[in-house]
Amino acid sequence: MSLKNAIGGVALLAGTAIGAAVLALPVITAHLGFYQTIIMYGVCWFFMTFGALYLLEVNLMVGYGTNLISMADKTLGSFGKYFTWAVYLILLYALTSAYLFGVGDWIIKGFLHFNITVPAFGCAVIATLLTMAVILMGTHVTDLVNRLLMIGLIGAFGTLLFVVAEHVQFELLGTSNHVFDLRPIPIIITAFGSAIVIPTLTEYLHGKPKQLLYVVLIGCFIPLIVYMIWEMAILGIIPLSGTPGLLQIQEHGHASTDVTLALKSLLQNNLITRASTYFSVFALITSLLGVCLSLFDFLSDGLHLQKNIRGRILLTLITFVPPLGFVLFYPHGFTVALSFAGIFVAILLGILPAMMAWQGRYNSKQPKPFQIIGGKPMIIVTILFFILVGAIECFNQFEALWGHQG
């Protein structure tokens, strides 16, 4: 495995996790205060990383080049296979639809900058065709495009931090409502949901356990650092109460855009708006590429389609046509699925990998080239944590429905 490919693997993992929603995380967790939020980030990162490592372990056990369908089939049987089909397609098609919608929206704004009006239909199709072209050309090309986008993302994020760093008031970090609230956890775990690309990476990096372990650990750790630094920057500048205040934005505003406006208002710097715009665009596209590449390889495995020219064209169509259909004809359909994303992520990237690892370790005679620490106790604790996440998300949905009806 070359160092360039390893760096590309790290970039693909980190880029899939770091979406435009990172700008909104400090608002979602504002009422908890800085220190409680950091602990919550750490806990979510810890268990999502273990989920990723279980996924890597099972993938290497079953054989690199396979994806979740083969992994579930060989460890959990037919029921596990069909259950994985359902959860995976719901989550990944919903994410792809959301990202295509978001990229299409930015294309509309780009045309408007040149006083050209293009309908949303046309921009969604443009976003889809551009992404299809990249995915169709394979993992290597997707990796190269993703690296370039990650350079832009890092540059935009670095610019944001450079502008706001000197204005951070560390005394504000101790401000909180002194509440204990687990409701943000399902949203936070989705922010670490990059493990979906691991089966693609094991094939791309030729299934070398030691190198893949480093790639996964580093790729999963980078988002944690980014989120903690951004949390410190926002909570150290925008006060909890007042106008503009984080609680006010949390209650009435649009989290990501209103954070940018609040920073611009407080610091009087137009560069913040420009940098946050570029960051949002790059983060959105890197997440889109990671999700679509994962879905492409998943379908190849599940449908037993070879990656020759004919197979790649068919896989590309199956990957993109359904989510594009949702964007064009049922634009609010994917938001229903995304509202339950916490449950789907908990199942797909937490519970299922841990269960597959258990079955693979203790009930399978297949060779085990890689096994992470913790044994049975860690697998049980991981499953229990993600069951708790699912329960919290169910409570959140019930609370939202009850509040809406009330």
Report pLDDT for 335.
64
- The residue type of 217 is L
As a whole number, mean pLDDT of residues 218-242 equals: 92
Closest alpha carbon to 97 in 128, 120, 121, 68? 128
10 Å CB burial of residue 107 (0-12, 13-18, 19+) is buried
Nearest-10 crossing angle of helices 68-113, 120-136: 130
Report residue 247: phi and psi, to 5°.
Answer: -70, -35
**Confidence class for position 264, pLDDT limits 50, 70, 90:** confident
Contact between residue 12 and residue 146 where contact means Cβ atoms under 8 Å apart: yes
- Report the CATH architecture of 3-405: Up-down Bundle (1.20)
By the 10 Å C-beta count (0-12 exposed, 13-18 middle, 19+ buried), 169 is classed as exposed
Q: Is the pLDDT of residue 334 over 70?
A: no
Residue 47 has pLDDT above 90, yes or no: yes
Tell me the whole-structure pTM to 2 decimals: 0.93
Helices (H), 115-208: 120-136, 139-165, 185-190, 198-204
Over residues 86-107, the mean pLDDT reads 92
Computed from CA positions of residues 379, 195, 340, 176, in that sequence, does the dihedral angle turn out positive or negative?
A: positive
Largest CA distance in the chain: 64
Model confidence at 240, in pLDDT bands (50, 70, 90)?
confident
From the list 69, 134, 83, 124, the residue with the least C-alpha distance to 321 is 124
DSSP symbol at 208: -
Token code pair at residue 148: 């370039």
Q: How far apart are the C-alpha atoms of 198 and 61, rounded to whole Å?
A: 13
Q: Which of 115, 117, 93 is nearest to 288 (CA)?
A: 93
As given in the structure block, the two tokens for residue 13 are: 């993992």
Categorize the per-residue pLDDT at 260 as very low, low, confident or very high, splitting at 50, 70 and 90: confident
- What average pLDDT does this structure show over 260-277? 86
Q: What 3-state DSSP class applies to 45?
A: helix
Q: What residues form DSSP beta bridges with 66?
A: 64
pLDDT at 367: 77
- Which residues does residue 64 pair with via DSSP β-bridges, in sequence order? 66
